[in-house]
Amino acid sequence: MKKSKLGRAIRATAQNARAAKILGVDTEKVYAATFGINAALCGVAGALISITFTIHPYMGLPYTIRSFMIVIVAGLGNLPGVAMSGMGLGVFEEFADYILGTEFRIGSVFLLLVLILVYRRFKLSRKREYLK
């Protein structure tokens, strides 16, 4: 993402598509390439998951919730943070599985997601005052 031409174009388009287009980046090709890379990665992940689990329409929902939570905790573009957040979520999930039981494993992840979002909302909110 930092050294290749496509990676720099993806980062520029993600930060400000209009400015990237003015500087000569073909944003339509960047969007197409990004979609293609994403589709390929999702296809490979789905193929690997379908080997061990039963295929049904809602099989991706728990993975979507987990990945959304990892991105919320780590932030975008922070690879070490994503790795640490993923490992922390795995430890929390196994701990909740041991304490609460297998039935509440995904529910505990969802509850943790809600708690983190509420905490970040209060942490990021600022006190507004009138100027005197």
**Structure pTM?**
0.62
Same domain, 130 and 68: yes
> Do 75 and 40 belong to one domain?
no
Q: Are 75 and 132 within one domain?
A: yes
- 100 and 115 assigned to the same domain: yes
Number of structural domains in the chain:
2
Q: Give the model's pLDDT for residue 84.
A: 93
Share of the chain above pLDDT 90, in %: 36
pLDDT of 76 > 80? The answer is no
Residue type for position 38 = N
Last residue of a domain, one of 39, 55, 71: 55
Residue 118 is which amino acid? V
Got the DSSP string for 11-53? Answer: HHHHH-HHHHHHTT--HHHHHHHHHHHHHHHHHHHHHHHHHHS
54 pLDDT more than 90: no
pLDDT per residue over 78-128, tens digit each?
Answer: 888 989 999 999 999 999 999 988 888 888 888 998 998 888 888 777 666
Q: Range of 67's domain?
A: 60-132
